[in-house]
Amino acid sequence: MIDADAQQENPPYRNNHSTPATHTPPPDSLISPTASLDYWSRTPASITGMLGGYPQISLTDLRGSRSFLTKLRRGPSGSFTPSSHKRLKLGVDCGAGIGRVTDGFLRHVARWRVGGRAGDHGDGDKYDLIWNQWCLGHLTDSQLTAYLRRCVHILQPAPDPDSDSTSNDNGVGEGGGGGWIVVKENMSTDPSGGDIYDELDSSVTRTDDKFRRLFADAGLEVVRSELQTGFPKGLGLYPVRMYGLRPKKERWRESHAS
């Protein structure tokens, strides 16, 4: 089941409204929710609008996401198992916009519904998949860390290590290690190696190093990461990276100790 959270995608295009990391104050301190909402309220609710005028990358993006999730669920061995191809029971698409990712990809791998917010889920269910794509740039560093920590609390936990069971019936993947948090976002290409602020939609494009530091601060470890491939080079798009995340063991025990 996929909960589509009504945010917007922040597509991988570059533009002339970007402020490099050398700008003071820090790029994420410039983020304005009001400016972001104003931008998206004026953007057509279409694939072209969601992807910044590049609808031709949508299919490649969706295929890349599905391939990444398949490899993530198969685990280090990369082998096919019945568990790794089960339909997920419950998931959330954070940043669903018009539902492009939900409709084109996630509904094929999980049961889904529309409504709800990741990190603010009150019915006690645990998610097998929390998908975050092209939306986290609208959060400051501290907000992103806090958000990811909340995600841990609603993630399907790993099975009890003292149990005889070696698999989880939710089909999250090899060994039944619990649910996944996936982040798919643009990567900064700033020559100085810092984040980039985009005043057009009031968002930040982060570096790989920054993302990994924030993941660690949130108690998450990167299980798998790879770059999206196949986008036309002539479009001048940002690199896009996918991260498969799980809580560090001690963090998971703390968050599900109640």
Question: Is 133 known to sit in a ligand binding site?
Answer: yes
* CA distances from residue 135 to 7, 71, 144, 220 in whole angstroms, order as listed: 7, 23, 10, 19
Distance CA 222, CA 220 (A): 7
Question: Is 107 known to sit in a ligand binding site?
Answer: no
* 142 neighbors 241 (Cβ within 8 angstroms): no
3-state secondary structure 46-73: CHHHHCCCCHHHHHHHHHHHHHHHHHHH
Question: Is 100 known to sit in a ligand binding site?
Answer: yes
Residue listed under structure tokens 């005043």: 199
The three-point CA angle 229-65-38 to 5° equals 95
Which residues contribute to the annotated binding site for S-adenosyl-L-methionine? 95, 100, 133
Which residues contribute to the annotated binding site? 95, 100, 133
